[in-house]
Structures are given as C-alpha cells and as structure tokens.
Amino acid sequence: MKFPTFVYETKKYKEGLFFVAGCDEVGRGPLAGPVVAATVILDPLSIGKQRSKTKWWYRVRDSKTVNERERSELERFIKDHCLDFAIAEVSHETIDEINIHQAGMLAMRKSVDGLKPKPDFLFLDGRHTIRGLDMKQEAVIQGDTKILSIAAASIIAKVARDKILGQLHAIYPQYGFGKHKGYPTRQHREAILKFGVLPVHRRSFAFVKQCLR
C-alpha cells in the first residue's frame, strides 16, 4: 500500500508559500447522487518530518484504500489538524447538464473558494488544473497516493459524500445506496431494472440512459 508524504507541501513552504492546500473530488463513477470535492490546508506545525505510528497522519492515504470506519476516524484527525477545510458538491442535475468532468472541476473550484485563508498554492489530484482560478496550482496524477493534503481532502470528500448517499438510502432503501454508494454494482443495476430510474440518478450516464429507453 502506498502512503502519501508531506514532501510536496514542504518544498512549497521553502519557496515562501505558507498556505498550501490539497484538493480532490469523489463520485465520478456512480450512477446516482452528486460529485463532492474537498480542499484542505494542513497545519505544517502538526506534521513533523518523519512518518511514525505516533503521528496523527500516519494512516492518512487515498480514501479508496480506507474502510468506512477508519475513514471516519481519520476525518476527525484531519479536521483537528488543519488550518481550514471546505467541502462542495455539484448535483446530479448539473452533472447531466455539463458532464461529469466539468462537474468535478466545478466542485473542486467551489471547495477552494470556500477556504479562509485563500491558499498561496494548490495541489490537485488528476491531470487538470482549475481554469480561471487566481492562484498558483499544480495537478498531480495519482496525487492522492503521493501528497498528504490531497489524500486528506479525498477522505473528507468521501465521508461527506457517503453521508449524502446514506440519506438517499433512508429514502430509497430498496436500491441499496447505503452499501454501494451509487456506484454501478450488480446490486444497483438490478435495482434500477426492477424498480426503475429515480430522480437522483444521472440520466446522462449510459446505463441509466439505456434503462430510460
């Protein structure tokens, strides 16, 4: 398992950039629900130079490799040791209007805009920086496995989105949102075929579009 480090952020501090943020989004693949992004400015004084089991961030990593119980615990640690964080979501309706890539970028932009203070530098997971954003930024492929602040953002975003899908599960229990979180699992696809397309489904996605036909 690959663990991120604080090396990328440290280099920026040495360049005189103090508020260094990491940003990530979750929920590109699901057939239902919003895409959610988070941006985090970690407190450098709480990190230290070496990873060890005594450090709060020892187990922080890409949210996809963390189970639900551990994510909730790490989320609390991250929120307790950051200068600020912000969460933003973009609805399934907007995803259908502007496509999932643009919706993911919009969610990240909204989460960055929600920060106080404004970052001096922004690391983003993926291949794309945010257009029109007035700050220095760098997109890093698989950044959530390399950069601690991006991994922290991925965990916060994942926990936030899972809560939303938990709320959908309470409304539509027969679809199993609490388990698959809207992803196109066999259980989810079979539920759509049996019970129909819901208002929260992404109608621009191929399987949902096919079911509507």
Q: Is 120 marked as binding a ligand?
A: no
Distances in whole angstroms, Cα of residue 94 to Cα of each of 36, 41, 172: 12, 27, 21
Q: Is 138 marked as binding a ligand?
A: no
Distances in whole angstroms, Cα of residue 204 to Cα of each of 91, 102, 181: 13, 13, 18
CA–CA separation, 52 and 80 (whole Å): 18
Q: Is 125 marked as binding a ligand?
A: yes
Peptide bond into 34 cis (omega under 30): no
CA–CA separation, 56 and 130 (whole Å): 30
Residue in the block written with tokens 């187990």: 59
Edge-first strand listing for the sheet containing 20-26 = 82-90, 35-42, 20-26, 121-125, 136-140
Write phi, then psi, for 89 (nearest 5 degrees).
-130, 150
Sequence ranges of the binding site for a divalent metal cation: 24-25, 125
Sequence ranges of the binding site: 24-25, 125
